[in-house]
Amino acid sequence: MEQGKDIAMGGNEHYYTEKPTSGLKERQFRYRIKNAELSLISVSGVFAFENRVDRASELLIKAFRPSGRSVLDLGCGYGAVGLFIKALYGEQLVCLSDINERAVEYSMLNASNNRLDVKVVKSDLFSSLSGICFDDIVTNPPFAAGKKVLAELVEQAYEHLNPNGALWMVAYHNKGGSSLKKIMQERFSNAEDVVKSGGIRVYKSVRLPGG
């Protein structure tokens, strides 16, 4: 892994901001997960602004197993989760989405730099994905957005999954994750802890046929 490289100074704002106003600051690094190594740029105003893939996202990537052939990385940030899934499972049709315009820009840049063929769209939850369903939806959700937004995310994700498709969410169990799992259980009638590591959980719910 290379040392991060700071380009300019930036300010603090929520990473689910649609139009970040913070000064542009980049960190360039290489990162390996399983048998895939990517060259990535994280950026200020976009989750997660570090010189490595954040722990929760890395755990989600490692835990993920395709349910079919199409994947949505919802709230993709600079693209780490979706791009690693594409690198690890090249046959997958991968879409990345985020409300944050800077996230969309850098997800496209990171995809291009790593020659990964994915689709990147600007979308407030599923606003730009109407009528499209996926076999898997993966997300490291924005807890700062509040429980109401998270409940809406789970509800809309259910409607955008194919039968037997799965919603994968990662969270710190004692920092909102347990309530998130309850929301998933209520909507899907199932929710399991796929992985537990250092207080982080990867939760998975499957849209059952006929549900």
Above 50 in pLDDT, residue 107? yes
Q: What is the pTM of this model?
A: 0.89
pLDDT value for 17? 54
Above 70 in pLDDT, residue 19? no
Give Cβ neighbours of residue 123 (< 8 Å, ≥ 6 apart).
97, 98, 99, 129
* 152-197 pLDDT per residue, tens: 999 999 999 999 999 999 998 888 888 999 999 999 999 999 999 9
Q: Domains of the chain by range and CATH?
A: 53-104+115-206 (3.40.50.150)
Q: What is the mean pLDDT of residues 16-30?
A: 75
Q: What is the mean pLDDT of residues 88-106?
A: 96
